[in-house]
């Protein structure tokens, strides 16, 4: 196999592009894909401060690495989920990466800051661990980014993640989620812009990049991943991809081009500050504060005040709170 770009010996094959690359040209290819993604959706400019949500896994560390190499002012945010040895190891990889690159790293420990960890929340609350994990991460990302003066939040969602999420949302025709499944979510009152610069790269490509760049990352899966429904959609997409390479890219990239405009959001939601924490929400209390109160056995608000229809609906079903599943219906990604 020869490298498509320089004709030297290739070290990695990308079937979807029907191409192989040597080490340097593959790194160039990955950077190009990220650069094109940033440009296509006008994700951020050279003066913006970008906060990368890092989990210790290959995608988020690869993203941070590419952004730093492209010359962006990119810091990292690690959320301590309290998932035993898995969390401890993830944190170590993130700290080592940040120290080696001399990049700013923010850390927020859920148990220290908010009094619960994800395994406890999964046992005590009504949500699955992945659901409360995703909700907590989105909440902490937004809050920390605002507090530390960042302009935009970048997450390491790759093409596989996005295709699997789109499949799940489509199977249930969750049109509201589909409408927001875009590589850029613009800022709204109190919510920072969120971007996914890896949406053009498959999981194999980000893994290849991390390996060839010598980035150490946590390889084992989160022990709670069994409950993550997105995993099943990923497996289904992998079956299709194995027999028809390019299916994932066609499904998701064609959606962006031709499908997404058909689902563009019609209804603007009114956001107001959560009465407990001040973060934006559509009800009196944000989903995070409600989930946290449930786990800690606390009562939220004044029991004498009659709840509005919207609040009742919000308590019955979190699905009616589009602003709080800001992130497109996917459960939190490991």
Which residues are near ligand SF4 by CB under 6 A?
A: 81, 118, 129-130, 133-134, 222, 224-225, 228, 331-334
Alpha-carbon distance of 97 to 86, in angstroms, equals 17
DSSP state of 57: S
Only segment of 34-42, 220-228, 269-277, 293-301 that touches Zn ion (CB under 5 A): 269-277
Position 276 contacts Zn ion (CB under 5 A): yes
Q: Which is nearer to Zn ion, 104 or 275 (CB)?
A: 275
Q: Which is nearer to ligand SF4, 179 or 222 (CB)?
A: 222
Q: Find out whether 195 and 152 touch, Cβ atoms under 8 Å.
A: yes
Position 3 contacts Zn ion (CB under 5 A): no
Q: State the Rg of the chain over Cα.
A: 20
Q: Which of ligand SF4, Zn ion, none does residue 274 bind (CB under 5 to 8 Å by kind)?
A: Zn ion
Q: Find out whether 138 and 176 touch, Cβ atoms under 8 Å.
A: no
Position 70 contacts Zn ion (CB under 5 A): no
Alpha-carbon distance of 314 to 322, in angstroms, equals 10
Number of residues binding to Zn ion, judged by CB under 5 A:
6
Contact string (CB under 5 A) for Zn ion, positions 278-317, x = contact = -x------x--x----------------------------
Q: Which of Zn ion, ligand SF4, none does residue 228 bind (CB under 5 to 8 Å by kind)?
A: ligand SF4
Cβ 162 to ligand SF4 shortest distance, Å: 16
> DSSP states of 195-244 as a string?
E-TTTTS-HHHHHHHHHHTT-----SPPTTGGG-THHHHHHHHHHHHHHS
Q: Which is nearer to ligand SF4, 20 or 118 (CB)?
A: 118
Cβ 309 to Zn ion shortest distance, Å: 20
Position 140 contacts Zn ion (CB under 5 A): no
| Of residues 240, 138, 246, 153, the one with CA closest to residue 194 | 153
Q: Which of Zn ion, ligand SF4, none does residue 43 bind (CB under 5 to 8 Å by kind)?
A: none
Residue entry with tokens 């990604």: 333
Instruction: State phi, psi for 74 to the nearest 5 degrees.
Output: -120, 120
Q: Which is nearer to ligand SF4, 27 or 222 (CB)?
A: 222
Q: Which is nearer to ligand SF4, 21 or 97 (CB)?
A: 97
The count of other CB atoms within 10 Å of the CB of residue 296 is: 14
Q: Find out whether 302 and 219 touch, Cβ atoms under 8 Å.
A: no
Residues near Zn ion (CB under 5 A): 274, 276-277, 279, 286, 289
């Amino acid at each position: 196999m020869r490298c498509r770009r320089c004709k030297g010996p290739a070290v990695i094959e990308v079937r979807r592009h029907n191409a192989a690359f040597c080490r340097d040209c593959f790194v160039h290819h990955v950077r190009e894909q990220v650069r094109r993604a940033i440009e296509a959706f006008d994700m951020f400019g050279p003066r913006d401060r970008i906060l990368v949500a890092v989990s210790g896994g290959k995608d988020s560390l690869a993203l941070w690495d590419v952004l730093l190499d492209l010359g962006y002012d990119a810091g990292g945010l690690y959320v301590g989920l309290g998932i035993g040895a898995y969390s401890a190891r993830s944190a170590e990889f993130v700290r080592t990466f940040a120290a080696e690159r001399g990049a700013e790293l923010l850390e927020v420990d859920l148990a220290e800051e908010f009094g619960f960890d994800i395994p406890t929340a999964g046992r005590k609350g009504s949500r699955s661990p992945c659901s409360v994990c995703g909700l907590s991460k989105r909440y902490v990302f937004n809050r920390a980014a605002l507090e530390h003066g960042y302009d935009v939040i970048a997450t390491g969602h790759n093409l596989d993640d996005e295709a699997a999420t789109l499949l799940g949302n489509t199977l249930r025709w969750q049109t509201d989620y589909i409408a927001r499944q875009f590589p850029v979510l613009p800022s709204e009152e109190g919510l920072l812009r969120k971007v996914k610069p890896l949406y053009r790269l498959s999981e194999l490509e980000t893994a290849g990049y991390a390996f060839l760049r010598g980035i150490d990352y946590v390889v084992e899966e989160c022990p709670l991943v069994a409950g993550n429904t997105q995993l099943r959609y990923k497996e289904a997409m992998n079956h299709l991809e194995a027999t028809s390479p390019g299916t994932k890219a066609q499904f998701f990239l064609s959606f962006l081009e031709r499908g997404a405009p058909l689902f563009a959001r019609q209804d603007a939601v009114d956001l107001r500050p959560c009465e407990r924490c001040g973060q934006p929400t559509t009800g009196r209390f944000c989903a995070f504060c409600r989930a946290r109160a449930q786990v800690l056995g606390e009562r939220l608000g004044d029991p004498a005040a009659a709840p509005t229809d919207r609040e009742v609906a919000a308590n019955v079903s979190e699905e009616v709170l589009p602003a709080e599943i800001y992130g497109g219906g996917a459960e939190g990604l490991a």
